Structure 1
Amino acid sequence: MPGRKRAAVLGHPIGHSRSPQLHRAAYEYLGFDCSYEAIDVEEAAAADFAAAARQDPAWNGLSVTMPLKAAMAAAVDHLDPLAHALGVLNTVTFDHGPGGAVLTGWNTDVLGLVNALRHAGAGDAPRGIVLGAGGTACAAVAAFSRMGCTAVDVYARSHQRGDQAQNTQSRGSAQAANVSKVGAALGITVNLHPWNDAAQACTEADVVICTLPPRGADALADAFNALGAARTGAVLLDAAYDPWPSRIAQAWESAGGTIVPGLEMLLYQAVEQVRLFTGNAFRDEDAVINVMCDAVGLPAR
């Protein structure tokens, strides 16, 4: 394919994204001739964007963030098994041909979570809990499955929401964001619990993944602090990376636990995207990771 390749991250809003820094650093190291930009795309425009992109041979790959993950999953031609199970994607690759490109959707968020937790010292089959029951919680459930867990406890901020999720599963609903449905597809039991039990659960888990919006766990942090638990050896990953450290992360660290910013998840999901986008040009994984770390101010591995 002649000329410079093109890639981008899509979302709305998108101005805060760190993905351009990560991808550009990797492409520069690899000598891969591909631009990478942030493009603001609203959810209603996702299908039209995909249709136009498939006709442009310059497109090499797309990173996809909120609120487009489900809409773009419906706009591609194929989904990898994990994206299919979750009902959402965060990555699109292009296979260009005479009639336009075939688009394949992938989900690298799960490996992003797993590798961030592994780097922080999380072991196999931890006792895991997920805070929140939205779209990112589905990726968290899948991450625990990849780590060898057969069950995971999910704490929804609304007890009614948890009940609704259970009912949704029993009715066989196609709602993609349903954590119980995702668990069933992946063979991991999802136990849904009311939010007011979450603080106590945090004192007993090996690994906690917080999937709430920024500051969404502030009140939980105060309740957790009041319990005075020691968390040495336990890991908390907060998917929201601004502000950092979050109040729940501060509480966890004060209790002796290990904290992982969402930026680590972003790093590792981007590494997998770079692998997909660059193909045979991908090499020296450790060095690629370190130049990406340097681009966003993370410590070298």
Structure 2
Amino acid sequence: MAISSGDRAEPIGVGPVARRAAVLGAPVGHSLSPTLHMAAYTRLGLDLTYTAIECDEAGLPAMLGRLRDEPGWAGVSLTMPLKTAAVELLDEVDPTAALLGAVNTVVVRSNGHLAGFNTDVDGVGYALRRLLGRAVPVQPLMLGAGGTARAVVAALARAGTPRVAIVARRPGAVAELVGIGARLGVAVTPLPWGILSGGVPPGPDLVISTTPAGVTDTLARQAWPVTCPLLELLYHPWPTALAASAYRSGARVIGGLEVLAGQAVGQVRHFTGCAVDEGVLLAAGLAALSARNAGPAAGPDLAAGPDLAAGADADHAAAGPAGDPVAAGPGSGG
């Protein structure tokens, strides 16, 4: 995509010598973020490097100190386990990130201050638009209540969804989402995990899965309602059993790569002030997944067409721990 005058905006806080960015997390070697970001910077004609740096919570303060002290940093993306830990370490935090208690994007201002944002909400919103078009879900059902679920609730609120039912194994996590939903104008209804024993209960017009690989395999063996689309936040391995089941029933399915691409586009804008089309990043991500799998990223029957896109934590979903659905949150990393 060529850069027009409309594609360039004044960078939010990046100094003129900004030449590098990175994704931080532990583990982070599997991350697709370097692939997606470098595809964006190449398309935009920008001289920016983007790498993956292993960093856990104990090392985060020192790493943020490097951003303040070393010239050339545009910012960093954050994935597990850093998104919540970073909130208290930054000079300023965007209202959405503060409400969700999670930051996935840190921008180095021209004055050296570190500003935190959450573009995971943008990523989920992009995936919802790809899945539903202009339709607004009025009775969605979410599976899992981990960090990714916070971004989902916020994205549903932005879309105008009035309510969401959440099926989760940890009641305490759902209680947090009830509070977040109340502040965003979305009524959150907790449901017991056992309600899924007979399949998707009647009523939902959308199912969003934020659980790690394998958790919904039992549900995948049940009949899937053909009229109920699925947003599966995992992207690797793909397709998940749940995604394949929904697709075979005739339902529309989109995977987490859309979430990862959507949130990365927001990060690129924060780091550079430039806009890039999500399709550029999706193409790069699909190519990388195909190379990893030594075959079609979504399998022979599922790769073709928009109805089942190989899809995000989004970034950390490939290796999220079973105790925290699709890794931290919100999910897509950077």
TM (normalized to structure 1)? Answer: 0.85
Question: How far off is 1:133 after superposition?
Answer: 1.1
Partner of residue 172, structure 1:
none
Superposition pairs of residues 1-40 of structure 1, within 5 angstroms? 1=15, 3=17, 5-40=19-54
| Post-superposition offset of 1:272 | 1.0
Q: How far does residue 251 in structure 1 lie from its aligned partner after superposition? A: 1.2
**Quick check: 1:10–1:62 contact (8 Å CA) kept in 2?**
yes
Q: Which amino acid aligns with 1:270?
A: A
Distance 1:125 1:9, change over 3 A: same
2:70 is equivalent to residue 72 of structure 1? no
| Residue identity opposite 1:27 in structure 2 | Y
Aligned to 1:230: 225
What CA distance in whole angstroms lies between the structure 2 residues aligned with 1:30 and 1:42? Answer: 31
Deviation, 1:165, is 4.7
- In the alignment, the residues of structure 1 paired with residue 212 and residue 229 of structure 2 have an alpha-carbon distance, to the nearest angstrom, of 19
- Cα pair 2:164 2:189 within 8 Å, conserved: yes
Which 5+ residue runs of structure 1 have no aligned equivalent?
Answer: 170-177
Q: 8 Å contact 2:97–2:118 — kept in the other structure? A: yes
Q: Does 1:249 align with 2:263?
A: no
1:126-165 correspondence runs (5 A): 126-157=138-169, 161-162=170-171, 164-165=172-173
Shift of 1:3: 4.6
Question: Hey, what does 1:117 align to over in structure 2?
Answer: 128
SS at match of 2:69: coil
Q: Once the two structures are superposed, what CA deviation does each residue of 1:84-117 show, in whole Å capped at 9, x if it has no partner?
A: 11000111111132xxx11111111111011111
**Bigger helix share:** 1
Tell me the alpha carbon deviations over residues 180-214 of structure 1, each in whole angstroms, 9 at most, x when there is no partner: 22112212111111001135445531221111112
SS at structure 1 position matched to 2:141: strand
Q: Where does residue 272 of structure 2 map in the other structure?
A: 278
Pairing 1:187-202 to 2, within 5 Å after superposition: 187-198=185-196, 200-201=199-200
- Give TM-score scaled by structure 2 length: 0.77
Q: Which moved more, 1:260-269 or 1:200-209?
A: 200-209
**How big is the alpha-carbon RMSD for the aligned residues of Structure 1 and Structure 2?**
2.0
- Give the count of matched residue pairs: 274
In 1, the alpha carbon distance for the partners of 2:79 and 2:173 equals: 23
Q: Tell me the distance in 2 between the aligned counterparts of 1:4 and 1:84.
A: 26
CA offsets 1:23-77 (integer angstroms, 9 cap, x no match): 1011011111111000110122112211221112211021111111001122111
SS in 2 for 1:70: coil
3-state SS of the aligned residue for 1:89? coil
Q: Distance in 1 between matches of 2:272 and 2:47?
A: 10
Letter in 1 for 2:115: T
| 1:269 paired to 2:287 | no
Relative contact order higher in (CA < 8 Å, ≥ 6 apart): 2
Could you say which residue in structure 2 is the equivalent of 1:185? 183
Q: Is the 8 A contact 1:203 1:229 kept in 2?
A: no
Check whether the contact 2:131–2:231 (CA below 8 A) recurs between aligned residues. Answer: no
- 8 Å CA contact 1:4–1:35 kept in 2: the answer is no
Q: Which amino acid aligns with 2:286?
A: G
